[in-house]
Amino acid sequence: MEQKAKVEQLKEQLQGFLLRLDSLDPAKMSIDDIDQLIRIIERMEQDLH
């Protein structure tokens, strides 16, 4: 995948991640929620390579 396409894909993924993060209630977050957020970040990192 060319670099520009990777950057655009990363932007879209980050936007989705931030929307998800904003929708979470910190008082109601579970370990599973945090694990899922970490997996999303790891997947974004893998997609860059």
pLDDT (tens digit per residue) in 1-49: 688 888 898 899 999 999 999 999 999 999 999 999 999 899 888 887 7
Q: How far apart are the first and last CA of the chain?
A: 10
Boundaries of domain holding 24: 3-48
* pLDDT reported for residue 1: 61
User: Is the pTM value of this prediction over 0.75?
Assistant: no
* pLDDT reported for residue 15: 94
CA atoms within 13 A on the CB side of 7: 3
Closest CA to 39 of 17, 10, 6, 23: 17
* Tally of structural domains, the chain: 1
Residue carrying structure tokens 């893998």: 46
> Distance (Å, rounded) from C-alpha 6 to C-alpha 9?
5
* pLDDT reported for residue 48: 77
* pLDDT reported for residue 42: 92
